[in-house]
Amino acid sequence: MRAGIIVTYDGSWLGVFTLVFQVYAHRWDVKEIVKSSEKVQAQLFADITTVITDEQLANRVLKSLRESFGNELIQELYYVFLSELPEADLLLLKAVQFYFAKAKDPNYQKNIKGSNLRTQAGGGGVRHNYAEDTVLQVQQIGRSVSRERHRMKAFIRFEKMNDGLYVAFIAPDFNVLPLIIKHFRDRYTDQCWLIYDVKRNFGAYYNLHTVEEIILEDGDQGQAVRAISWDAEEALYSDLWKRYFRAVNIKERKNMKLHIQEVPRRYWKYLTEKK
């Protein structure tokens, strides 16, 4: 067993599970996981290994997890991956190791029978053992990402370009764009739209048939906006939207503390009514 190694990988979803496969295959004791786009801190006597993404190996791990715990677990792990938190990669590895170990432990399965832990075929109550710190962290991060996903559905504001394309810029705390594409594709099926994450410099473009990932040459939101030719009537609609919000506002019942709690300031620059 190679103890205390540092593993680098390409930062992709399949890359994570290729890494998990290799950890089991070579019995690595992983000390740190670093994306290849990041710089590895120089450490004395550090053993650094690079994992190359292999779709087949990754899917073998995912298939095993799905068969043991169902799609809900895959979704929970995906939310952790999309959080992009510094500890996310190592947490994913530890979580998978915990799930597999406990699911195969007959004593653990025996102990949870009849308990108040919710059970599922194959995995038992492993996913809901909140006394385990790894499981608790997965659940907490998942809830945070889900909350951000829900907010993006409510806070996205499209503006029309002169060629008929509807554009919206976002900069969420977590990488939730992949989680909201289906919502907007189902809701706006009769118009072309682009939702662009300026924080991560990529977007989702819907052309009335399919959704494609695009990357602008300049990811700066300010310069991107100046380069766009807006529809002549867009300013009128924006002004109408602002007038509506002023009209429905009741000054006597204004509660800024609650308002900021529900609509954090970091979203304001992307909301038409706040500009």
The answer to whether residues 15 and 137 belong to one domain is yes
pLDDT tier at 184 (50, 70, 90 boundaries)?
very high
The answer to whether residues 107 and 196 belong to one domain is no
Q: Among 17-21, 32-36, 100-104, 238-242, which range has the highest average pLDDT?
A: 17-21
The answer to whether residues 131 and 203 belong to one domain is no
The answer to whether residues 144 and 12 belong to one domain is yes
The answer to whether residues 124 and 165 belong to one domain is no
The answer to whether residues 194 and 263 belong to one domain is yes
Q: Give me the number of domains the chain comprises.
A: 2
Q: pLDDT digits over 211-227, tens only?
A: 999 988 754 555 555 45
pTM of the model: 0.82
Residue 114's pLDDT is what?
47
Residue 43's pLDDT is what?
59
The answer to whether residues 69 and 181 belong to one domain is no
Lowest mean pLDDT among 130-144, 159-173, 230-244: 230-244
The answer to whether residues 27 and 115 belong to one domain is yes
The answer to whether residues 209 and 125 belong to one domain is no
Residue 122's pLDDT is what?
43
Residue 116's pLDDT is what?
46
- Structural domain containing residue 168: 156-274
The answer to whether residues 190 and 136 belong to one domain is no
Q: pLDDT digits over 39-54, tens only?
A: 666 555 568 899 999 9
The answer to whether residues 213 and 142 belong to one domain is no
Other Cβ atoms within 10 Å of 133 Cβ, number? 11
pLDDT tier at 118 (50, 70, 90 boundaries)?
very low
